[in-house]
């Protein structure tokens, strides 16, 4: 049995880390507590579990100098209803709306989704496209790291001992007119993705792609990006013919595996279909 401690501020967290050598932090617990209950945590059960949910600094959303700071323990439900997020980063709520069920979204946090580092994490494709920067702190101070450098592989994030994720920073300055997220699971609701795709697109008034960024989930050890696919689409309409031409480039960018949810080949097909389904925006210029 582990002791569960609920520090009220970061100072108390550092004191706990000083005193106990075997600690594990958590926020909503929707990943960690489930894994502990089924003995799927890579380390042995820790002596002390540190719940971060009472730390005010990790629970607020604020704007500073054109950037939005989201505390690591902000829940998915809170993000979904927050005007700063809805108005500036619609791709993120589009993804979070499809994450788990209402109780999971009420408990689960953005920081937890990131630190779990699952290639199926629904918030991750959007955060990669929004160039999220992560604020990591320890007793010694803070450092900032882009999300793509923080997540190293399935279940493996760049957190040193004694460090926690404090906040996620997003730049408000984006002029994409289409914010898109779609995921395919084994069923329509409450499903971990077999493949997912987020897209940020700016079309000209003639429907030609001026800017595009794409990210796929669940088809590689981490979120898959492809500047080759993006480059081939720039200057063209989002027609099925054009999107189909990009398919071989997407194939090179992903490396899906077989698992209990789907075969690798099926994931490849779904990832390509998600790309081709962007043709719904052909001739439109809307969010």
Residue 31 contacts ligand FAD per CB under 6 A: yes
Please tell me what DSSP assigns to residue 221. Answer: S
Q: Is 29 an interacting residue with respect to ligand FAD (CB under 6 A)?
A: yes
Q: How many residues does the chain have?
A: 287
The minimum distance between CB 49 and ligand FAD, in angstroms, equals 9
Q: Which of 112, 119, 237, 256 is the binder for ligand FAD (CB under 6 A)? A: 112
Report the b/e string of 246-257 with b at 16+ CB within 10 A: beebbeebbebe
Kindly state whether residue 28 participates in binding ligand FAD, applying the rule CB under 6 A: yes
Q: Which of 7, 13, 17, 32 binds ligand FAD (CB under 6 A)?
A: 32
CA-to-CA dists, residue 42 to 22, 36, 39, 154, 161, angstroms: 13, 9, 8, 12, 15
Q: Which has the closest alpha carbon to 26: 8, 9, 5?
A: 5
Beta carbons within 10 angstroms of residue 167's beta carbon: 25
* Segment 231 to 260, residues that bind ligand FAD, using CB under 6 A: none
26: exposed, middle or buried (C-beta count within 10 Å: 0-12, 13-18, 19+)? buried
Least distance (Å) from ligand FAD to the CB of residue 122? 4
| Region binding ligand FAD by CB under 6 A among candidate stretches 18-26, 146-154, 218-226, 253-261 | 18-26
**For residues 88 and 118, which CB has a smaller minimum distance to ligand FAD in the complex?**
118
Please give the Cα distance from 180 to 199 (Å, whole number).
Answer: 5
Residue, CB closest to ligand FAD: 112
Residue among 108, 119, 237, 256 that touches ligand FAD (CB under 6 A): 108
Q: How far is the CB of 71 from ligand FAD (least distance, A)?
A: 9
Among 17, 23, 26, 237, binds ligand FAD (CB under 6 A): 26
- Residue closer to ligand FAD (CB basis): 90 or 121: 121
219 binds ligand FAD (CB under 6 A): no
Residue 133 engages ligand FAD in binding (rule: CB under 6 A): no
- Does the CA dihedral 272-183-114-42 come out positive or negative? negative
Query: Who contacts 281 (Cβ-Cβ below 8 Å, separation ≥6)?
Result: 178, 180, 201, 203, 238
Nearer to ligand FAD, 153 or 248 (CB): 153
**Of the candidate residues 111, 119, 125, 256, the single one contacting ligand FAD (CB under 6 A):** 111
Beta strands 48-51 and 23-26, pairing class: parallel
Q: Kind of pairing, strands 224-225 and 209-217? A: antiparallel
Q: Which residues bind ligand FAD (CB under 6 A)?
A: 24-32, 34, 52, 72, 99-100, 104, 107-109, 111-113, 115-116, 120-122, 159, 164-165, 192
């Amino acid at each position: 049995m582990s002791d569960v401690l609920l520090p009220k501020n970061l100072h108390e967290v550092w004191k706990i880390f000083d005193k106990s050598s075997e600690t594990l932090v958590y926020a909503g617990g929707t990943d960690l507590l489930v894994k502990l209950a089924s003995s799927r945590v890579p380390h042995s059960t820790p002596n002390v579990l540190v719940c971060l949910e009472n730390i005010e600094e990790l629970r607020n959303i604020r704007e500073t100098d054109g950037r939005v700071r989201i505390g690591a323990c902000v829940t998915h439900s809170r993000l979904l209803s927050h005007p700063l997020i809805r108005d500036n980063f619609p791709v993120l709520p589009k993804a979070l709306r499809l994450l788990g069920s209402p109780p999971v979204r009420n408990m689960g946090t953005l920081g937890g989704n990131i630190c779990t580092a699952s290639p199926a994490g629904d918030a991750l494709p959007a955060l990669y496209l929004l160039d999220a920067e992560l604020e990591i702190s320890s007793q010694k101070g803070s450092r900032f790291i882009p999300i793509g450098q923080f997540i190293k592989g399935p279940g493996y994030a760049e957190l040193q001992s004694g460090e926690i994720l404090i906040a996620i920073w997003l730049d408000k300055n984006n002029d994409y007119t289409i914010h898109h997220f779609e995921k395919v699971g084994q069923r329509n609701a409450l499903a971990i993705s077999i493949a997912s795709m987020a897209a940020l697109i700016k079309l000209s008034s003639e429907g030609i792609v001026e800017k595009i960024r794409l990210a796929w989930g669940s088809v590689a050890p981490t979120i898959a990006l492809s500047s080759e696919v993006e480059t081939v689409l720039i200057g063209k309409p989002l027609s099925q013919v054009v999107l189909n031409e990009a398919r071989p480039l997407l194939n090179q960018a992903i490396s899906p595996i077989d698992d209990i949810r789907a075969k690798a080949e099926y994931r490849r097909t779904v990832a390509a279909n998600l790309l081709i389904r962007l043709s719904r925006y052909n001739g439109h210029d809307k969010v």
